[in-house]
Amino acid sequence: MEVQVLEFEEKFAEGVEELYNTLGWKFSPKLINIWKSLRNYSKVLIALSDDRVVGKVTLDVAFPPYAEIVNLIVHPEYQRKGIGTKLIEECIKISESKGHNIQFLMTEYDNIPALNLYKKFNFYPAILSKRKQLWLFRFGKGSFVENFLKAHPLFEFKVSRKKVNFHDEKLYEISFADIMNNACLKVYFRGQPGQEGTMPRIAGIFFMEGKKAFDLVTYENPFEVGIFNYGENSSFETRPLSPKGLEVFVEKQILKLSKNQNEKVKITFEAKDFDIPLDYLSFKTIVVSFRINEKFVISIGKECG
């Protein structure tokens, strides 16, 4: 069976409506105008087989380096034929071509086919709870997690089932520990299991490798980046990854910290020509991320509306 993955055009509207109706979803013609208005920040992709729309997914790339994969659906008659795989592959290809190399999505605990699909692409469970929904994160090409796992292929993965305390912040935790030595990477997330709330994002990092050991954490009241150095004397450079239309100010871009020294860096940002329509994205959260030493990514968020 030949399948094409294409960006949505108005000529596919009838096919998408048929797909929605098959799944019991509501389709409104207003969606077409919304999808058109979001094209700079959001891509709607459809899977086409014999001129029939048999799958759809939305990819949001509003806030670098994140890309959210939303509402992956496949027509019941075409499931288990690799259509979901093709849609996810295209989402990853598009997002990474734009420099968005951390992808995330939400699914359910009991959706075994979906979990097996996402496992093929190295999505890791990140935010769990007793609720049915959970967030999975994928760390793609050039990401700090991918770099760590390439250097430490014999690793043990763990995920917290509830929030943990990390420098006075309540966050979800995942960890990758090399089973042959003391190298370890822990990633901390701010967010909630479902979509009602703030956009999931990386809010902290613990890194230990050789003589280097440090924690990074973001605070959001007020906005600050905390850097805690436990290893050898090191420099830490903080550079923002600013969404278009936001001006971000870092109080001290470069810090030199000795062993067991820590410091917090104040962050401010303001909108200039910021025009991302938050009402139509999954979350009304403005997210600004920072690269620490060109490798590690941590983020802050501001809720709007």
Q: What is the pLDDT of residues 161-218, one digit of tens each?
A: 899 999 999 999 999 999 999 999 999 999 998 888 899 999 999 999 999 999 999 9
In a domain, 111, yes or no: no
Mean pLDDT, range 71-92, rounded to an integer: 94
Which is more confident, 242 or 64?
Answer: 64
Residues 225, 290 contacting (CB under 8 angstroms) = yes
Same domain, 274 and 175: yes
* Type and span of the H or E element at 229: strand 223-229
Amino acid 176: pLDDT = 98
What CATH number is given to the structural domain containing 73?
3.40.630.30
In a domain, 125, yes or no: no
| Full-model pTM | 0.95
CA–CA distance, 53 with 97 (Å, rounded to integer): 25
Same domain, 168 and 257: yes
Among 46, 69, 100, identify where a domain stops.
100
- Model confidence at 145: pLDDT above 80: yes
In a domain, 298, yes or no: yes
* Contacts by 43-46, CB closer than 8 A, 24 or more apart: 43/7, 43/94, 44/7, 44/8, 45/5, 45/6, 45/7, 45/8, 45/87, 45/90, 45/91, 46/5, 46/6, 46/7, 46/8, 46/12, 46/15, 46/16
Amino acid 180: pLDDT = 94
Q: Which domain holds residue 14?
A: 4-100
In a domain, 131, yes or no: no
- Model confidence at 131: pLDDT above 80: no
Query: Which band of pLDDT confidence, cut at 50, 70 and 90, is reported for residue 276?
Result: confident
Among 40, 75, 100, identify where a domain stops.
100
Among 68, 100, 132, identify where a domain stops.
100
In a domain, 136, yes or no: no
Domain count, the chain: 2
In a domain, 214, yes or no: yes
CA–CA distance, 304 with 76 (Å, rounded to integer): 37
Same domain, 146 and 95: no
Q: What is the pLDDT of residues 7-63, one digit of tens each?
A: 999 999 999 999 999 999 988 888 888 898 888 899 999 999 998 999 999 999 999
Query: Which band of pLDDT confidence, cut at 50, 70 and 90, is reported for residue 281?
Result: confident
First to last CA, the chain: 46
Same domain, 93 and 159: no
Number of Cβ within 10 Å of residue 159's Cβ equals 15
User: Average pLDDT, whole number, for the chain?
Assistant: 94
Which is more confident, 273 or 143?
Answer: 143
- Model confidence at 294: pLDDT above 80: yes
In a domain, 109, yes or no: no
